[in-house]
Amino acid sequence: MGDIKSYVEHISNRIIWMTGVVVIIAGIMVSSWSKIGLKQYEGYTVYEKTFEELQTDHVDTRYLVEIFDENILNYTINLSQTSYFQGEGRLKIFHSNDLLAEVSGIGGKNLVTFDLENVQLEKGENYLFQVTLQSTEPFSYSIDDEGRLKDRQIYAFEYQNILKVMAAIIFFLIILLVVLSLKIKNTGLFFSIISFIMGAVFCFENPPCSVADEFRHTIRAYSYAMGDVVITNYIDGVPYYNVPKEFFEIRELAQTVDYSHEYNRTVNMTAMSRQWERKWARQETVDVRVPAVSEISPIAYLPQILFMKIALLLNMNPIACVYWGRMGNLLLYSLGIGFCIQKLKKYKSLMTAICLIPLSLRFAASNSTDSVLLTLVMIAFTYLVSFIESDDKEKSIYCVKSFVVFALVSIGIANVKIPYTLLLLSLLALNKSCYKGKRVNKIIFVGGVLFSGIFSYQLMQRLIVIKESSFGLNAAIANFMKDPVSSGNALVDGFYHSYEYVTNAYGIGYLDVIYIIFILICAWSSTKSVNMYRYQKWMMLLVGVFTWCCVIGAAWTWGAGKQIRGMHGRYIFEILPFLLIPFAQGQEVEGEKNMEGYCRLFEILIIGGYAMELMNQYYIL
């Protein structure tokens, strides 16, 4: 009778949790649904070359503008962020030397908007715009890094039904995952399923180039898929790669706010739909700068290269190649991490939580190399912990098979981001018994593993790099040597402000914070290892902190080490297991499986909410 009562209470608690998850996600979906219904307009930024330098208190300039779509409601010119338009503006529109219309402009902050609702302009046609602005203070137009004027055409939005279908699909996939969380007992399998399903949602929900540096990574993976290993084109010391224009234009269809940043902010549905209709022409090419990623080995892009190559062989259009590369990356992440979680005897919930960080899963569903790096680090960590947790005290890591596994992982990690090879110093935490009782064997093994990675990195640099840039390990070391005092101060400052990197421009603020708290709880409540000695915990923690310092140090690219730049919260994800597992305090309890079930539901809730927030961020606002 007691067993029945306990079972009923257990099922009731799970049903309450499931109901709560569904109700919260339904509330978020209803909110998004209503916002979709209110969306009436969308805009497209057109980048045009200007005929003169615009920096004056009186502007009368002419330039060509291509009309992106019919029924233009208004036309907006962006001034520089430091300008504030206070005056009158006039816009004259010419076609074939004939004056079609003349309208007045309304200024607001650093924008000047002209009403074109009553002006008949044809889609795809080029018109000559003559802009005259008068202001009481000097101002300048906002232009991108290539000297192109930023302006914006606003027109009616016609894709409410598509967005509603997207919201409904996300909602029903979350319901499916909630049900599967009860059915699937295998934690590794559960991770693979949830990461692949929700990763696929992120893959198609995120516009191209919506995560940090994705366009550069996409271009580099594409170059490898085309057989171009070495980048030979340099302009002012910056590496460039030549791509077909239709592939290059994918970067602009989600509207970059600042052309120097390689990520997009909002989606233009009209531009997106047109990209899916495009075919390869390859008649016109464009030089695209690829700093930093030009030196990354093809090893880091293997899944993207393979899947892009398949897309190219099937003659799929440019945007399809981008999404195929993403799916290859996601597949490796889901299967690789799922294997690691299944192999672990302890810490399954913690590892699942770390690898389901929404931002990490979002990068896994992109053409970034971060997912390959996290997968390789987790493989190394899994094998390391398996030796620590082994009940066989005579189990030896000092053998050819183990060395090959760790050497291959070291090679992979080094060719993605070399500072993370330092995490393999955690092999020193293993007892002498794992090295057949000899300290010298430990030194030989660990040294050989690290040497494999560093040697392969240097070898690949010799093969693929023509001219060394200001990025990479060698540049970071050189900057440190130039001014070690300033570099040390920058390192301390960067370490102290590490928390600022967690909720950066690529995250979703409050959801990231909530999930970080959740991960800390998972770490604290994880069953502590009875086979892991205190010195081993301290060694892993020390290796994690040391590696994080070196990762921060790798950002000493600008200013000879005097300023930390380019840091993102995702850089610490690979180090989290080494930092958190030493603090595991839990004991073996009967309700641990129940706790794992609640963790699954919470993860589904956060990831589902994250997906809805992405839709709101890119498609609705």
Q: How confident is the model at residue 56 (pLDDT cuts 50, 70, 90)?
A: very low
Distance between first and last Cα of the chain: 55
Answer yes or no: is pLDDT of 175 > 80. yes
Q: How does pLDDT run across 340-377, given as a tens digit for each residue?
A: 999 988 888 889 989 998 888 999 999 999 999 999 99
Q: How confident is the model at residue 129 (pLDDT cuts 50, 70, 90)?
A: confident
Q: Looking at residue 199, what is its pLDDT? A: 94
Residue with the larger pLDDT of the pair 91 and 569? 91
Residue 86 phi/psi, 5° resolution? -135, 90
Q: How confident is the model at residue 330 (pLDDT cuts 50, 70, 90)?
A: very high
Q: How many CA atoms lie within 13 A of 282 on its CB side?
A: 6
Q: How confident is the model at residue 37 (pLDDT cuts 50, 70, 90)?
A: confident
Highest mean pLDDT among 71-80, 334-343, 549-558: 334-343
Q: Looking at residue 141, what is its pLDDT? A: 67
Read off the pTM. 0.85
Q: How many CA atoms lie within 13 A of 185 on its CB side?
A: 0
Average pLDDT of the residues of the chain: 80
Answer yes or no: is pLDDT of 526 > 90. no
Answer yes or no: is pLDDT of 407 > 90. yes
Q: Looking at residue 47, what is its pLDDT? A: 58
User: What percentage of the chain exceeds 90 in pLDDT?
Assistant: 22
313-327 b/e (C-beta count within 10 Å ≥ 16 → b): eeebbbbbbbbbbbb
Q: How confident is the model at residue 455 (pLDDT cuts 50, 70, 90)?
A: very high
What is the pLDDT averaged over residues 569-579? 86
Which tokens hold the place of 194?
Answer: 């949830």
500-535 b/e (C-beta count within 10 Å ≥ 16 → b): ebbbeebbbeebbeebbebbeebbebbbebeebeee
- What is the dihedral sign for C-alpha 363, 369, 375, 381? negative
Neighbours of 616 (CB within 10 A): 17
Distance from chain centroid for Cα 357: 12
Answer yes or no: is pLDDT of 457 > 70. yes
Q: Which residues, 6+ apart, have CB-to-CB distance to 455 below 8 Å?
A: none
Q: How confident is the model at residue 448 (pLDDT cuts 50, 70, 90)?
A: very high
Q: Looking at residue 256, what is its pLDDT? A: 47
Q: Looking at residue 376, what is its pLDDT? A: 96
Q: Looking at residue 502, what is its pLDDT? A: 53
Q: Looking at residue 421, what is its pLDDT? A: 94
Strands 41-49 and 87-95, by their bridges, are unpaired
Lowest mean pLDDT among 14-18, 71-75, 494-498: 494-498
Which tokens hold the place of 271?
Answer: 């531009």
Report yes or no: 560 and 484 within 8 Å, Cβ to Cβ. Answer: no
Q: What angle do CA 145, 149, 154 make, to 5 degrees?
A: 125
Give the CA diameter of the chain.
92
Answer yes or no: is pLDDT of 543 > 50. yes
Report yes or no: 327 and 200 within 8 Å, Cβ to Cβ. Answer: yes
Which tokens hold the place of 533?
Answer: 């000695």
Helix, strand and coil content of the chain, in percent to the nearest 5, comes to 60, 15, 25
Which residue has tokens 């995560």? 211
Report yes or no: 84 and 139 within 8 Å, Cβ to Cβ. Answer: yes
What is the pLDDT averaged over residues 161-182? 88
Report yes or no: 21 and 46 within 8 Å, Cβ to Cβ. Answer: no
Lowest mean pLDDT among 30-34, 145-149, 548-552, 598-602: 145-149
Which DSSP category does 584 fall into? -
Residue 301 phi/psi, 5° resolution? -115, 15
Answer yes or no: is pLDDT of 383 > 80. yes
Q: Which residues, 6+ apart, have CB-to-CB distance to 504 below 8 Å?
A: 568, 569
CA atoms of 307 and 328, how far apart (whole Å): 6
Answer yes or no: is pLDDT of 390 > 70. yes
Q: Looking at residue 260, what is its pLDDT? A: 43
What is the pLDDT averaged over residues 592-615? 81
CA atoms of 539 and 290, how far apart (whole Å): 38
- Look at residues 79, 51, 83, 58 and name the one whose alpha carbon lies nearest to residue 143: 79
Answer yes or no: is pLDDT of 10 > 70. no
DSSP secondary structure string, 48-76?
EE-SS--EEEEEEEEEEEE--SSSEEEEE
Q: How confident is the model at residue 106 (pLDDT cuts 50, 70, 90)?
A: confident
Q: Looking at residue 81, what is its pLDDT? A: 65
Answer yes or no: is pLDDT of 605 > 60. yes
H or E element: which one contains 211?
none
Helix (H, G, I), strand (E, B) or coil at 509: helix
CA atoms of 63 and 489, how far apart (whole Å): 49
- Look at residues 110, 209, 179, 66 and name the one whose alpha carbon lies nearest to residue 604: 179
Distance from chain centroid for Cα 106: 38
What is the pLDDT averaged over residues 35-45? 81
Residue with the larger pLDDT of the pair 305 and 560? 305
Q: Per this entry, what is the length of the chain?
A: 621
Q: How many CA atoms lie within 13 A of 10 on its CB side?
A: 15
- Look at residues 162, 139, 171, 123 and name the one whose alpha carbon lies nearest to residue 61: 139
Highest mean pLDDT among 191-195, 205-209, 477-481: 191-195
What is the pLDDT averaged over residues 225-252? 82
Q: Looking at residue 198, what is its pLDDT? A: 94
Report yes or no: 216 and 366 within 8 Å, Cβ to Cβ. Answer: no
Q: How does pLDDT run across 417-428, given as a tens digit for each residue?
A: 989 999 999 999
Lowest mean pLDDT among 2-6, 239-243, 262-266, 384-388: 2-6
Amino acid letter, 384 = L
CA atoms of 190 and 607, how far apart (whole Å): 14
Per DSSP, helices labelled H in 184-253 are 187-205, 214-225, 245-248
